[in-house]
Structure 1
Amino acid sequence: MPSTDTAFWYANSAARDWRTAAPSSALVYHQTLEGYAPTPLTPLPLLAAELGVRQVFIKNESDRLGLPAFKILGASWAVCRAVCERFGLDASGITVPELRDYLNRDVAADQAPVLVTATDGNHGRAVSRMAKLLGLTARIYIPSGLSDAAVDGIKSEGAELVPLEMTYDDVVEAAAASAADNPRDLLIQDTSWPGYEDIPRWIVDGYTTLFTEIDHQLADFGFAAPDLVACPVGVGSLAHSLVDHYRSEGHPHPSLLSVEPETAACIAQSLLDGEPVTVDTSFPSIMSGLNCGTPSDLGWPSLLAGLDGAVSVSEDECRQAVVDLTVLGQDAGPCGAATLAGVRNALKGEDRRRALNIGPESVIVLVSTEGLAANPLR
């Protein structure tokens, strides 16, 4: 099993010319959720000066529909689609209250789905929240080393927690095996494998709301498009959404950068090798939500073709990014702040800047996927 104990850098000069089909939009569905509002896109001119570009924006996901991370975008849409499919309902135009009313009225208690997933934090809480909103139960499998804040967050949603002394990838397998043995269970996993692709696809589609918001918000600031969007990466589902959004017709085509911990850089190492590889994730990281060892099968083709760059960051670099963003008034946990650390690494040297097509007039967007409440510094 390859080890990722050193910094990685990958560049693909052909990525901006690659095109793919536009993903399905979940924006209209998200707009029906109580409390929906676009998360802030905030300019950070001090970082722009540091990085030698026109402007840096941060897309701050520290409060998304009442949760301290972006994951509810994918979980909400996937749960809706999966529950509707199980009971033969039309998911188009349906709202959470309508779906809850149907489950309460027309589904016997012993036939109600149990939502099941493995998580390294935020996804499990998002699935648990959807279970609560629909009047269902949830069973969440977690790996060793998950932060107390992440565990407490999942428990606060009323889910059953199943802790396992395993790495994240092994916990995913355990959750899938358990769900396969229980007819009521409905697995809502944000990674894919052969034969399990529809629900991960719906999760990816749900995430596109984030990037649609960025496009609209940049236009409000007078910018037609970003020049670089940096995204933190675990198994690659959010990055898959990023690539499919910006590499489809009718959208801008900026440079796209993935950022991972040095100790769990499965995407960067896979891109360098030209094929998916699994890396050892037994070394703990403060970027717990990114501590994933195997790329999603579903997302891999898009990541290989559409990412301009991939970079890894150290624990110390990430800690410094959290501190620096806090000073700038931004609530960013380690996974979210990783994008600042990653852009700093990616723009070291003129060769890397040229590879990402970055110059003095460039506009950079940092996707900060979580607040400190989701994963406090340890």
Structure 2
Amino acid sequence: MTENLSCLPWSARPGARAWRCAPAPAEVRDFHSALPDYAATPLTELPALAQDLGVGRVFVKDESHRLGLPAFKALGASWAIHRALAERAANGHGSGPATLVTATDGNHGRAVARMARLLGQHAHVFVPQGVHPRAVTAIVEEQAKVTEVQGPYDEAVRQAARAAAAPDAILVQDTAWPGYEQIPAWIVEGYSTLCAEIDEQLTAAGVAEGPDLVSVPVGVGSLAQAVVTHYRSRLSERAPALLSVEPESAACVLESLALGALVSVTTGKTSMAGLNCGTPSSIAWPYLYGGLDAAVAIPDADSARAAVDLAGLGVSSGPCGAAALAGLRTALNGVGGDDRRRALGLGPSSVVVLLSSEGTAANPL
């Protein structure tokens, strides 16, 4: 059930903090820790934002440099490709290189192409209309074949799925649909490392009980699924509020939550290119509906202002990453903010974590 607290694009679900699920596998963190370029990304405390938001402490998880790339996506791509290639070899199909096929708004495709290059595989990446040419160039520089699609992200996904039917091709897509769920589930598992790092970093900062709220940018919902899994699988610990943030022009999760069922929306143009998705992932949807406390949609201008503010505080954040701040700021400080603050259980001593999912280098718009 959802409730609308003002005319702001917003939906809240009472009772989400009581929803529970199984945890991510522990071996994912061990896998990432063994990679040559692995290091935990910073969790930066920003007192100026705490004052702005009217809470006790604000931390930003800075994903501007993750495994040599300017976004968090390499966590999911590396684990999923590792699992997919191991399964391929176990089934007797590992004699030659595979072609890893995916559709992307930029960051995921570059991560898949990077892993393919490092592992001696091929990559074929489908890019929807509206992705900046420099993002396409970055994928090409990873030695991937790129097909530019004259249509939105959902059409690029459809074309990638068709191309992956070829012999020795593996679809490595970060969204799921009925009949295609295993690899997207591995991608979600890969993102759990980010959450494990936050636990350790908050403890080191003297926050023993964890955050009171986590704000996460949402495209198809895979990162949000990982966040929900992490915080809703803890039976004995205080559960934080979880907030998803989307562009107003591509608010598929917000619309689905408001209707109580997974739906697709027609997307428009947005500077938050990595969030410009029209359909939630089928495996993410039960987690989002069960475990998200609230969802909000924001205009591009709010994300742009948040990115400038984060830069002024020393955090490199592209439009998608800055959406986490923009969405929470709009929810708490806008008309009806007091009601939304109560719905999220926030007070003057609350601890907030913002997931800045990309750096400025990831989105050259």
- Residue 163 (structure 1) aligns with: 148
Residue 163 (structure 2) aligns with: 178
- The 5-angstrom pairing of residues 224-303 of structure 1 reads 224=208, 225-249=210-234, 252-281=238-267, 283-303=268-288
8 Å CA contact 1:149, 1:373 repeated in 2: no
Residue matched to 1:310: 295
TM-score if structure 2 supplies the norm length?
0.94
Offset from partner CA, 1:162-214 (integer Å, 9 cap, x none) = 1011110011011001111x011000000001111110000000000001100
Which residue number corresponds to residue 332 of structure 2? 347
Shift of 1:7: 4.7
Unaligned runs of 5+ in 2: 1-6
The CA distance in 2 between the partners of 1:374 and 1:231, in whole Å, is 17
Question: Is 2:49 the counterpart of 1:64?
Answer: no
Match of 1:199 among 178, 183, 195: 183
Matched, 1:30 2:18: no
- Call closer, same or farther: CA 1:252–1:41 in 2, change over 3 Å: farther
1:39-81 residue CA offsets vs partner (Å, 9 max, x unmatched)? 0000000010011111111000000011000000000000000
Secondary structure in 2 matching 1:201: helix
Alpha-carbon distance in structure 2 between the residues aligned to 1:318 and 1:222: 30
Cα offset for 1:252? 4.9
| Cα displacement string for residues 303-360 of structure 1 (whole angstroms, at most 9, x for unaligned residues) | 0010001001101111101111111111000000011100112213211001100000
Which residue matches 1:364? 352
Residue type at the aligned position of 1:312: A
| Preserved contact between residue 250 and residue 265 of structure 2 (Cα < 8 Å) | yes
Distance 2:238 2:354 in 1: 16
Within 1, Cα distance between the matches of 2:71 and 2:141? 15
**SS of residue paired to 2:38:** coil
Q: CA deviation at 1:149?
A: 2.8
Deviation at 1:113, TM superposition (A): 0.8
Deviation at 1:14, TM superposition (A): 0.3
Q: 1:19 is matched with which residue?
A: 20
SS of residue paired to 2:20: coil
Per-residue CA deviations over 1:74-107 (Å, capped at 9, x if unaligned) read 0000000001011118xxxxxxxxxxxxx9xx95
* Matched AA of 1:190: D
Deviation, 1:249, is 2.2
Residue type matched to 2:9 in 1?
Answer: F
Q: Distance in 2 between matches of 1:332 and 1:324?
A: 10
CA distance in 1, matches of 2:133, 2:225: 29
Give the TM-score normalised by structure 1.
0.91
1:236 maps to amino acid:
G
In structure 2, what is the Cα distance between the partners aligned to 1:252 and 1:201?
26
Q: 1:80 aligns with which of 60, 82, 85?
A: 82
Alignment-derived partner of residue 126 in structure 2:
141
- The CA distance in 2 between the partners of 1:88 and 1:219, in whole Å, is 40
Look up the equivalent residue of 1:121 and give its one-letter code. G
Q: How far apart are the structure 2 equivalents of 1:278 and 1:345?
A: 24
Q: Which string of whole-angstrom CA distances, capped at 9 and with x for unpartnered residues, describes residues 230-272 of structure 1? A: 0000000000000011000266520000000000000001000
1:10 and 2:5 aligned? no
Task: Figure out how many residues of one structure are paired with residues of the other and give that number.
Answer: 353
Retained in 2: the 8 A contact 1:10–1:272?
Answer: yes
For 2:49, give the aligned amino acid.
Answer: L
* CA positional deviation for 1:148: 2.3
Separation in structure 1 between the aligned mates of residue 9 and residue 266 of structure 2, nearest angstrom = 15
Aligned equivalents of 1:364, 1:227: Cα separation in 2: 6
Q: 2:205 matched to 1:221?
A: yes
TM-fit CA distance, 1:8: 1.4
SS at the partner of 1:373?
helix
Sequence identity of aligned pairs in percent? 55
Look up the SS of the partner of 1:78 in the other structure.
Answer: helix
In 2, Cα distance between the equivalents of 1:83 and 1:315? 39
Supply the AA of the counterpart residue of 1:140. V
- Relative distance call for 1:19 and 1:47 in structure 2 (3 A) is same
Match of 1:100 in 2: none
Q: Which amino acid letter does the alignment assign opposite residue 158 of structure 2?
A: E
Q: Distance in 2 between matches of 1:248 and 1:346?
A: 26
Contact 2:97-2:120 at 8 Å conserved across structures: no
Quote the residue 1:188 is aligned against.
Answer: 172
Question: Whole-Å Cα distance in 1 between the matches of residues 145 and 8 of structure 2?
Answer: 38
User: 4+ runs of 1 displaced by more than 2 Å?
Assistant: 249-252
Cα distance in 2, alignment partners of residues 279 and 59 from structure 1: 29
**One-letter amino acid matched to 1:196:** Y
Equivalent positions of 1:121-132 (< 5 A) are 121-132=106-117
